[in-house]
Amino acid sequence: MNTSPAALSLIDPTRPLLRRTALLPDESLASVLERLTQLNFYDDPRMIQTIGRERLMTLNVVDDLAQPTQLETFQQLATLTQLSLDDLYAASDQRFAAWLDPLDQTSQPMPWRDHTTRPRVNPHWARTQLRTSETTQFCPLCLKAAAYHRVSWIPRAAAICLEHLCLLTDHCPRCWKPTTVADLVGCRCLNCEADLRRARRISIAHDSLSVRSQQAIQAWFGVADVPDDTLAACHLPPQPPRVLYQLLQLFAQQLVKRRTEWPNLPRPLNGLANSIAATIEPHHALSPEQAYFLYRSAFTALLDWPEGLHRWLDAYGGCEETTPQTLTRPQCIRDVQHDWLNADWGDSPVAFAQREVLNYVLKRQLPLSVTAVRQLKDVPWFVEQSDLWTEECAAQALDLSIADLRRFYPHGSLADCYWPRSQANLIRFKRAGILAVKQRWREGWSLEDASSWLGVNVEDVQRLVEVGLLPAHGKGHEAAANQGVFSPPAVRDFFQQVMAHLKPYPESRGDLILMIEAVSEVHDLGVDLAVLLQSVLTGVLPAYPRRPELVSLYHIDFSQAIIIGLPDQLYAAHGWISADRFAYDYDFAPYLIREWSAAGLIQPTLSFDRRHYFDQQQLKEVAARHGFVPPIARPVKTRRR
């Protein structure tokens, strides 16, 4: 019968190890198990693991003694080592559970004694943020003082020894093999027998930024005693350590995302040299040196909050000091907006950082992400901080309906208030601009406002004032025409008067043309939009609304034939007739009238590029003196284009 200590331990599940030891200061669970293996002279380095596995099988529990995840495993460890459950928990990876899980994800807690629970490490996050017993890091000077593995060396983010102010190392100095807990306990590489205590020491005592960042990180993890005043001097966000660590991880992830551009980043990120940045991949484990640079750079975003964040974003986006609105790497800031300004954060404890990112974007007058506005459009703090209003808010502030508001943007008098990145389903206005317009409108509408409402050019509004169709008040008639203030009701009334004189749209469109085309047809004959509208209001000119809900005077249709004959009709009311029309009526060539004019017998009353108008009575008298009499009345001749 086998009566070795190991066999006895397997037979009796309540029997402790024959030789035991206390936990050394800051010692890890994997380290004390390795020392117990050597202390009990087990030939098989995994004998304690075997003993624990056999005992757990009797309880139908499958777990790893070196990385326990269940209460039963801790209880068996306590039996074997005669150490307390709390001490074993503190020496294991589980002590970091509260820091590793993202704040919006919580792992299933581990039942503990007395009906309480303890946080349990999520295996996924443990793999990315904690080192295993097969991939350890260490400080050569600490190892020289005492040969065991420290708990403070487990987190990947803990990259330096705060006692000796040097970088940790994670490989054998001779064969470059990753070091294990067994290597550290024996102080020698089990592969090549190299003395790990003689590994090269890289001092970082000169780098105050790195020291401060590592002091904070290791204090958050509870593996370093750092004076409160030291951390207070960093002026970090007033948040719990877990929140600060998760925020640090977000900044680090953002750096890794744009890692190819690290060599170009200015201070305080200048330590990210080519040789380091080139080897970092999103899914690869960082070496202590890489983690040292990465977390130092990420930590600068938390220092002197929130000014430190703004400086970090300046460096990240390549902001030039002389031109703060210009970025050499704008895509970096677009990435930050996409990753940070979204509704997924909800009530997350790190959501406070969203406000500071938004503050930075607004402070630098950078384009606000459309995606961010769409996702956070209903979040009160975002609406308040971004200074963006919906159509409903803007219309309510200006005492307009939404339909009326749309007369003023995007190209009208509210163009400066209109958010230029608005889309069809995401219309936004700058609140400050809307409030300024509201204040200005207390005195009345400007020339540009009246132009926006009527849907015509400013010059057309000035002509309407000149011909007396649209009232305006200002410093005299000239001021009214050019920069006068308009009464909103008067502008609306004029528009409604025009609408009231429009005829129902004919079934056959025939030769109908828009206002713009109509003006183009007769503009060189002294007829403009104001004259056309005046003719509509007096009933001389029939007109039709192009759209059922007319929002612009430009959307009025006219018959092309009637428009072409309109100048002759208007000038005939003054007793004027064109030379072409008179010659046609008297049946002689128009050149004769030009000769009479050249001879000084008669002068035109109005002259245009294409046509001259004369006083009809005077023209009759000159024609009679030359022997011309009017023939029988002829049908009206329509001018062809």
Q: Are 290 and 206 part of one and the same domain? A: yes
Tens-place pLDDT, residues 177-186:
999 999 999 9
Q: Are 148 and 276 part of one and the same domain? A: yes
Residue 25 pLDDT greater than 80, yes or no? yes
Angle between helical axes of 529-537 and 515-522 (0-180°, round to 10): 110
If you average pLDDT over residues 519-546, what whole number do you get?
Answer: 91
Could you tell me where the DSSP H helices lie in 40-106? Answer: 47-57, 71-81, 85-91, 97-100
Q: Is residue 465 part of a domain?
A: yes
Q: Is residue 83 part of a domain?
A: yes
Please, which pLDDT band fits residue 154 given cuts at 50, 70 and 90?
very high
Please, which pLDDT band fits residue 278 given cuts at 50, 70 and 90?
very low
Q: Is residue 357 part of a domain?
A: no
Q: Are 146 and 122 part of one and the same domain? A: no
- CA atoms of 539 and 520, how far apart (whole Å): 21
Q: Are 102 and 175 part of one and the same domain? A: no
Q: Is residue 101 part of a domain?
A: yes
Q: Is residue 153 part of a domain?
A: yes
Please report the pLDDT score of residue 274 as a whole number.
41
Residue 5 pLDDT greater than 80, yes or no? no
Tens-place pLDDT, residues 287-301:
898 888 889 889 999
Q: Are 102 and 200 part of one and the same domain? A: no
Joined together, the tokens standing for residue 459 give: 């010059």
| Global confidence as pTM | 0.76
Please, which pLDDT band fits residue 145 given cuts at 50, 70 and 90?
very high
Q: Is residue 347 part of a domain?
A: no
Residue 464 pLDDT greater than 60, yes or no? yes
Q: Are 37 and 161 part of one and the same domain? A: no
**Residue 471 CB neighbours (<10 A):** 15
Q: How many domains does the chain have?
A: 4
Residue 284 pLDDT greater than 50, yes or no? yes
Residue 168 pLDDT greater than 70, yes or no? yes
Q: Is 226 exposed, middle or buried (0-12, 13-18, 19+ CB in 10 A)?
A: middle
Q: Are 98 and 22 part of one and the same domain? A: yes
Domain that includes residue 475, residue range: 444-486
- DSSP three-state, residue 229: helix
Cβ-count burial 278-300 (b if 16+ within 10 Å, e if not)? eebeeeeebbbbbbbbbbbbbbb
If you average pLDDT over residues 478-495, what whole number do you get?
Answer: 78
Q: Are 156 and 109 part of one and the same domain? A: no
Pairing outcome for strands 110-111 and 160-161: unpaired
Residue 391 pLDDT greater than 80, yes or no? yes
Q: Are 62 and 195 part of one and the same domain? A: no
Please report the pLDDT score of residue 266 as a whole number.
46
If you average pLDDT over residues 309-318, what whole number do you get?
Answer: 89
Please report the pLDDT score of residue 12 as a whole number.
64
| Cα dihedral 308/310/314/315 (nearest 10) | 20
If you average pLDDT over residues 549-555, what whole number do you get?
Answer: 88
Neighbouring residues of 204: CB distance < 8 A, sequence distance ≥ 6: 160, 165, 166, 167, 210, 211, 292
Q: Are 123 and 145 part of one and the same domain? A: no
Tens-place pLDDT, residues 183-217:
999 999 999 999 999 999 999 998 888 899 999 99
Which of 223, 155, 151, 150 minimizes the C-alpha distance to 184? 150
If you average pLDDT over residues 358-368, what whole number do you get?
Answer: 91
Residue 88 pLDDT greater than 50, yes or no? yes
Q: Is residue 398 part of a domain?
A: no
With beta carbons less than 8 A apart as the criterion, state whether 450 and 491 touch: yes
**Residue 213 CB neighbours (<10 A):** 25
If you average pLDDT over residues 68-94, what whole number do you get?
Answer: 93
Please report the pLDDT score of residue 465 as a whole number.
94
> What are residue 426's DSSP bridge partners?
423
Helix (H) or strand (E) holding 42: none
If you average pLDDT over residues 57-82, what whole number do you get?
Answer: 90
Neighbouring residues of 573: CB distance < 8 A, sequence distance ≥ 6: none
> What are residue 615's DSSP bridge partners?
576
Final residue before a domain boundary, out of 129, 152, 174: 129
Tens-place pLDDT, residues 416-450:
999 998 988 899 999 999 999 999 999 999 999 99
Please report the pLDDT score of residue 276 as a whole number.
43
With beta carbons less than 8 A apart as the criterion, state whether 228 and 253 touch: no
Please report the pLDDT score of residue 578 as a whole number.
85
The percentage of residues in the chain with a pLDDT greater than 70, rounded to a whole number, is: 89
Residue 171 pLDDT greater than 90, yes or no? yes
Helix (H) or strand (E) holding 486: none
Final residue before a domain boundary, out of 452, 486, 520: 486
Residue 71 pLDDT greater than 60, yes or no? yes
Tens-place pLDDT, residues 92-139:
999 998 888 776 666 788 999 888 999 998 887 788 889 999 999 999
Tens-place pLDDT, residues 212-248:
999 999 999 999 999 989 999 999 999 999 999 999 9
Question: Which residue type occupies 546?
Answer: R
Neighbouring residues of 494: CB distance < 8 A, sequence distance ≥ 6: 454, 464, 469, 470
Please report the pLDDT score of residue 273 as a whole number.
45
- CA atoms of 482 and 466, how far apart (whole Å): 10
If you average pLDDT over residues 16-32, what whole number do you get?
Answer: 93
Q: Is residue 513 part of a domain?
A: no
Cβ-count burial 2-23 (b if 16+ within 10 Å, e if not)? eeebbeebbeeeeeebeeebeb
The percentage of residues in the chain with a pLDDT greater than 90, rounded to a whole number, is: 51
Tens-place pLDDT, residues 581-611:
888 888 888 888 888 888 888 888 878 777 8
Tens-place pLDDT, residues 395-424:
999 999 999 999 999 889 999 999 998 988
Please report the pLDDT score of residue 640 as a whole number.
46
If you average pLDDT over residues 256-281, what whole number do you get?
Answer: 54
Q: Report angle CA 430, 432, 438 to the nearest 5 degrees.
A: 105
- CA atoms of 585 and 591, how far apart (whole Å): 14
- CA atoms of 313 and 237, how far apart (whole Å): 16
Q: Are 112 and 193 part of one and the same domain? A: no
Please report the pLDDT score of residue 480 as a whole number.
46
If you average pLDDT over residues 250-254, what whole number do you get?
Answer: 89
